C-alpha cells in the first residue's frame, strides 16, 4: 500500500516536504491616497482599508516598510476630475505628491504607480470617450504622459491597468525618451472585465457613470486570449506581466506560468478581499487560515508576485509562523 501519510505525521515533516511558500518580499500592498481631506476615511465595502490624506500616509508607509513586503501599489483620488483626466498627468497631482513623499521618507520602499485614467476622469472610464465610445489611440499619449510624470516623481515601477491596445509600447517609448530607460513596466496584461472590482470602485471613486468596461477589459470566458494579450505585452516591452483577478483565474495564472519566463504577478482583487472579510466578520471562516490558503493557492498556480489587500496581515502571520 502507498503510505502518503508517512510525510504528514508531524509539523516538521510537513514543513520539510512543503512545495509552496509565500514570500513576504513578493507581496504588494495597494494604497489609496485622497486629495483635499485631512482624515483617513474607511472604505465601507473593504473593512480595514482606508483612503489616506498625504498627511497621514507616513504612518501607513512605515508599517509597510517594517513589514518587509515587496512594495506598495499607489492609487490617487484627485479633487479635480474632467473628461480627459488632467490630474493624472499634472506633475503636482495627488499621486505625484504621494510618490514624492514616500520616496523622501522611505527611499528603499518600492513604489509601484498604477497608470489609468478612470480615477481621474469625470465619466469614470479608463480612456477618452467620444460619442459613448472609449477611444483607444487618443488615450495612449495621455497614459504615456501620466507614466512619465509618475516616473519623474520617483515611481520605481509603472503599472498600466487601462487595457488599451498598444499602451505598453507607447509608455515604453515615452519613458525612454524622457530619460527613464531604467524604469520597468508591470503590465496588467490579462485583466478581465470582472464583478470582483466593485469594492475597489468605491475605494477609488472610479465607477463608470455609463456602461461598463467590457469593450476594453477581457471576457471572463476567454483563456487562450489571455496568452495572446500577455505575449503582445512582452513584445511591446513589459518587464512583469499580470493576471487579474487571481482566485477565479488560477488556470490563467498557471497557463501563463507555463508559457512565459517573465516575472508573473497576480492581483488578489478587492472583491476577493471583501468576501473573505465579510465571512470572517460573521464568524463563518477563520480569516488567517483562509487568507494564507488563498495566497498559497495563487503562489502554487505560479504567481511570483501577489498584489493583495491582505499583505500587511499576511506578513505578520507568516512571521509568527516562522520566527
Ligand atoms: C483601474 C483599476 C481597477 C483595479 C485596479 N486598477 C479597477 C477597474 O478596472 O475597474 C481593480 C483593483 C481591485 O478590484 O482591487 N483601472
Ligand atoms: Zn481604469
- The number of beta carbons lying within 10 Å of the beta carbon of residue 210 is 9
Residue 202: pLDDT over 90:
no
- In this predicted structure, which of 7-11, 28-32, 135-139, 203-207 has the lowest mean pLDDT? 203-207
Closest ligand by atom to 127 CA: 2
| Mean pLDDT on 275-300 | 98
Give the orientation angle of helix 287-301 with respect to helix 270-281, to 10 degrees.
150
DSSP symbol at 21: -
pLDDT of 205 reads 87
pLDDT digits (tens, 9 = 90+) for 244-253: 999 999 999 9
| Mean pLDDT on 208-220 | 95
Q: Please, what are the domains in the chain?
A: 22-321 (3.20.20.70)
Residue 294: pLDDT over 80:
yes
Q: Which of 81, 145, 244, 277 is catalytic?
A: 244
| Mean pLDDT on 112-123 | 97
pTM: 0.97
Q: Ligand 1, residues 30, 142, 206: which to mutate, most atoms within 8 A of Cβ? A: 206
- The number of beta carbons lying within 10 Å of the beta carbon of residue 257 is 16
288 catalytic per annotation: no
CA-nearest residue, atom 10 of ligand 1 = 197
Give the orientation angle of helix 250-259 with respect to helix 287-301, to 10 degrees.
30
Amino acid at each position: 500500500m502507498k503510505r502518503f501519510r508517512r510525510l504528514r505525521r508531524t509539523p516538521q515533516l510537513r514543513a520539510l516536504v512543503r512545495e509552496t511558500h509565500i514570500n513576504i518580499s513578493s507581496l504588494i500592498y495597494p494604497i489609496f491616497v485622497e486629495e483635499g481631506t485631512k482624515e483617513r476615511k474607511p472604505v465601507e465595502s473593504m473593512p480595514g482599508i482606508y483612503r489616506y490624506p498625504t498627511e497621514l500616509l507616513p504612518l501607513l508607509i512605515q508599517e509597510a516598510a517594517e513589514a518587509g513586503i515587496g512594495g506598495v501599489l499607489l492609487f490617487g483620488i484627485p479633487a479635480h476630475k474632467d473628461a480627459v483626466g488632467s490630474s493624472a498627468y499634472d506633475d503636482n497631482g495627488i499621486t505625484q505628491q504621494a510618490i514624492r513623499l514616500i520616496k523622501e521618507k522611505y527611499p528603499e520602499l518600492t513604489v509601484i504607480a498604477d497608470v489609468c485614467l478612470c480615477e481621474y476622469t469625470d465619466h469614470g472610464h479608463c480612456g477618452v470617450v467620444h460619442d459613448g465610445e472609449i477611444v483607444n489611440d487618443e488615450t495612449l499619449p495621455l497614459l504615456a504622459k501620466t507614466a512619465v510624470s509618475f516616473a519623474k516623481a520617483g515611481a520605481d515601477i509603472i503599472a498600466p491597468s487601462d487595457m488599451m491596445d498598444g499602451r505598453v509600447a507607447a509608455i515604453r517609448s515615452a519613458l525612454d525618451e524622457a530619460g527613464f530607460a531604467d524604469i520597468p513596466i508591470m503590465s496588467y496584461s490579462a485583466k478581465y472585465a470582472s464583478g470582483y472590482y466593485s469594492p475597489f470602485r468605491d475605494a477609488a471613486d472610479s465607477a463608470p457613470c455609463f456602461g461598463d468596461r467590457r469593450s476594453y477589459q477581457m471576457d471572463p470566458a476567454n483563456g487562450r486570449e489571455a496568452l495572446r494579450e500577455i505575449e503582445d505585452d512582452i513584445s511591446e516591452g513589459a518587464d512583469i506581466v499580470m493576471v487579474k483577478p487571481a482566485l477565479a483565474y488560477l488556470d490563467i495564472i498557471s497557463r501563463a506560468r507555463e508559457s512565459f519566463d517573465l516575472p508573473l504577478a497576480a492581483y488578489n482583487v478587492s472583491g476577493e478581499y471583501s468576501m473573505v472579510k465579510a465571512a470572517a466578520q460573521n464568524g463563518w471562516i477563520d480569516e488567517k487560515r483562509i487568507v494564507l490558503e488563498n495566497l498559497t493557492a495563487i503562489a502554487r498556480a505560479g504567481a511570483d508576485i501577489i498584489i493583495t489587500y491582505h499583505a500587511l496581515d499576511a506578513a505578520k502571520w507568516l512571521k509568527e509562523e516562522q520566527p
